[in-house]
Amino acid sequence: MKPSFLNNFWVDVSALNVQRLRQAVSWILVWYFWLAAAIAVIASYLTGGSVLFVALPLALIGAVTTATVMADASALRTRLIVTVAINSTWMFGLYVASDIHNGEYMLEVHMLYFINTSIIIAYVCWRSVLMTTVAALVHHSVLTLLHPELVWPSSSYSWWHLMNHYILGTINCLGGIYIAASLKRFLDHMESARLEAHHRSIHDDLTGLLNRRGLRHAIGKLHQDDGTLPDMTLFQIDLDGFKNINDTVGHAAGDKLLVLVGERLNAIAPVNSIIARIGGDEFVVASPAIGADQQSDFLEGLKSWMQRPHVVSKTKLRVGASVGVTHSSISGGKLDSMMVDADIALYEAKKAGKNRAVMFNPGLKKDAQHLMKTAEAVLYGLENDEFEPYFQTQHDTRTGAVVGIEVLARWNHPKQGILGPAAFLDAVQEAGKAAAFDSHIMSKAIDLVLAQERTGVVFPKVSFNVSYQRLAEPGLAEYIQNLPKVRAEIAFELVESVFFDTLSDDEVETVNALRKLGIRIEIDDFGTGHASIIALTKLKPDLLKIDRALISPLSSNPEQFKLIKTIVDMAHGLGIEALAEGVETEDTINKLRMLGVNYVQGYAFSKPMNIADLQGFLVRKSA
């Protein structure tokens, strides 16, 4: 809904342009007046005329004109006074010229007066042009009838001159009006172009909503005397799954969906809300003076609409929305701080599973600042080789034999010692170094495994966690081919909860290319995300790793037994092996064996360890 104060959003801008033009011309003409007045006075003095008769009226007229321009240089009253002042310099100039030439050439001088005056005052408006010309015609008509010798040389005066005077004067009057009208059309054209350019500069071309600049401009009008915003709630909205729509259906359909989202926001936003599209699939709704009920109604309306399919180009599309919410009372009443805080809350909504709203609180900002600080430390740690691979063994459920090792990252922090992934993985993502981090750990692990193999140690399989960024990065297959060759089978674990069910066709093709290189594909943390059976058949993984959250209650919850049984049967039915994570007791191992789980991993066998400890563990295991 468009707020009322935006109704005349551009009028002030266009008026300002004309006002500045008129102010400038008014001052130019004031200086022109004084120059012309000085010339008339000097000419009168040099020709022996009455200097006081010329100088005194011009000084009085100039003083009034200058004071009026100083008060308001663009007002119509000011422009009309400037017109009279300019006329006065020409009138006195005519009398001086008449003395010089003994009355000859007055018709030519009058025409020069008409033409120059009309051009000079055309900036004012048609009123001043018409007023000046009509006044001059009446003045000279009266003089011609009463004292023709003052206007025309007596030796040549005739009624033909009078008619000629009227005809030329009328033509000049029409010409002056035409000049004024042409100038007005020109200014209108300039203002129209400026209005259009200004409109485009503050609006999004696709949706017609305000853009980021327009948002700042509109909210700027709401600032109080102390520079802060009044009571305002700000919603920052990011569409979930929009990239997948662009990739699968096309950008044209994606654009139409964005238009639909913009229209829906206009329809459900609280009254007087300011709505903007600030990025590809990012929107902002700023709502002044709304209560908790209105905030809740808006979020519920948005969620309800997002849950429904929307027909675009004969295709049903679904998209979600993550929302970060903040309030001026929390974020300090400044737009910049509100945008930052809403973005932090939006990040939390994404991290919590998307398609939800999160209200900002100061604790989130502390977390975000800590994350940023950790991200800087992560970059430093990568540069200084502080991250190293740790290993955890995987075992056959029936025999207990080692069937593989999973590579896990650890941070050998110079002050805090060995840190697990919970301390740095989010920071790696924040720093945009997920792909580089994966490559760093993978390269170091391969070198360590190769060194162990050269001593006679056998690793049936080595598994690596692969981030979405690494999977989507071009050249992954080539990177794998250039790694040192090890005898162990290599497996890539893809995290189901993050991206498994949203893989694009190109990413599935990347997975297939890896499989052709002999890489096993495994799904990590299965059961915590939203992978469908169709997605499983599309990707065709070699193994499902059942998340520890499903394994831990197995001993105490009989219902959990049935759930694990269902997952294992489904996996085996699709030709997929099953591995249980987080196994800590012998009792759990026995139950998993009964359920048909192929492999187990957890503290019941080993903790994550460095390569030296792994070597010792394998020696003891084989003894």
pLDDT at 57 over 80: yes
Residue 390: what are its φ and ψ, rounded to 5°?
-115, 165
* Tokens, residue 422: 């919970």
Residue 320: what are its φ and ψ, rounded to 5°?
-105, 180
Of the candidates 258, 234, 266, 248, the residue with the CA atom closest to the CA atom of residue 321: 258
Q: Are 404 and 601 in contact (CB under 8 A)?
A: no
Band (pLDDT 50/70/90 cuts) for residue 14 is very low
Q: Where are the domains of the chain?
A: 4-197, 212-360, 371-622
3-state helix/strand/coil string of 345-356: HHHHHHHCCCCC
Q: Tell me: domain 212-360, CATH 3.30.70.270, correct?
A: yes
pLDDT at 588 over 80: yes
Q: Which residues contact 325 (CB under 8 A, 6 or more apart)?
A: 233, 234, 235, 236, 295, 299, 342, 345, 357, 358, 359, 360
3-state helix/strand/coil string of 235-296: EEEEEECHHHHHHHCCHHHHHHHHHHHHHHHHHHCCCCCEEEECCCCEEEEEEECCCHHHHH
Instruction: Give the C-alpha separation, 298 to 283, whole Å.
Output: 14
496-526 pLDDT, tens per residue? Answer: 544 555 566 667 778 888 888 899 999 888 8
Q: In the chain, what percentage of residues exceed pLDDT 70?
A: 78
* Tokens, residue 403: 């069937």
Residue 327: what are its φ and ψ, rounded to 5°?
-130, 150
CA angle 618–495–426, rounded 5-degree value: 95
Helix runs in 292-415, H state only: 292-307, 328-331, 335-351, 362-383
pLDDT of residue 12: 43
Q: Which contacts (CB < 8 Å, 24+ apart) does range 561-567 have?
A: 561/591, 561/595, 564/592, 564/595, 564/597, 565/595, 565/596, 567/526, 567/527
pLDDT at 458 over 70: yes
Instruction: Give the C-alpha separation, 597 to 396, whole Å.
Output: 9
Scan for tokens 């919970």, then name that residue. 422
Band (pLDDT 50/70/90 cuts) for residue 5 is very low
Instruction: Give the C-alpha separation, 108 to 164, whole Å.
Output: 12
Of the candidates 441, 516, 521, 446, the residue with the CA atom closest to the CA atom of residue 487: 446
19-40 pLDDT, tens per residue? Answer: 777 787 788 888 888 988 888 8
Residue 366: what are its φ and ψ, rounded to 5°?
-60, -40
Upper half-sphere CA count for residue 479 (Cβ side, 13 Å): 15
Interval 289-318 mean pLDDT? 88
CA angle 273–274–275, rounded 5-degree value: 110
Q: Do domains 212-360 and 371-622 have the same CATH topology?
A: no
**What length is written for the chain?**
623
Helix (H) or strand (E) holding 610: none
Q: Name the β-bridge partners of 410.
A: 388
Q: Compute, in degrees rounded to 10, the torsion defined by CA atoms 60, 66, 72, 76.
A: 60
Average pLDDT over the chain reads: 80
Band (pLDDT 50/70/90 cuts) for residue 105 is very low
User: DSSP state, 203?
Assistant: B
Neighbours of 557 (CB within 10 A): 11
CA separation, residue 162 to residues 115, 152, 157, 159, 274 (Å): 18, 9, 9, 5, 67
Q: What is the DSSP string of 58-112?
A: HHHHHHHHHHHHHH-TTSHHHHHHHHHHHHHHHHHHHHHHHHHHTTTTHHHHHHH
pLDDT of residue 599: 95
pLDDT of residue 8: 36
* pTM for the structure as a whole: 0.58
526-549 pLDDT, tens per residue? Answer: 876 655 566 677 778 899 999 888
pLDDT of residue 183: 62
* Tokens, residue 618: 């394998």
Of the candidates 340, 346, 356, 311, the residue with the CA atom closest to the CA atom of residue 325: 346
Pairing mode of beta strands 402-413, 461-466: parallel
pLDDT of residue 447: 93
Q: What is the DSSP string of 439-465?
A: HHHHHHHHHHHHHHHTTT---SEEEEE
308-362 pLDDT, tens per residue? Answer: 888 887 888 888 899 999 988 887 778 888 889 999 899 888 887 788 899 988 8
Q: Compute, in degrees rounded to 10, the torsion defined by CA atoms 344, 349, 352, 353.
A: -140
Instruction: Give the C-alpha separation, 130 to 175, whole Å.
Output: 10
Interval 68-92 mean pLDDT? 79
Q: What is the CATH number of domain 371-622?
A: 3.20.20.450
Helix (H) or strand (E) holding 57: helix 51-71
Neighbours of 156 (CB within 10 A): 11
Scan for tokens 């409109």, then name that residue. 199
Of the candidates 161, 139, 142, 141, the residue with the CA atom closest to the CA atom of residue 152: 161
Band (pLDDT 50/70/90 cuts) for residue 163 is low
Instruction: Give the C-alpha separation, 322 to 240, whole Å.
Output: 7
Pairing mode of beta strands 357-359, 320-327: parallel
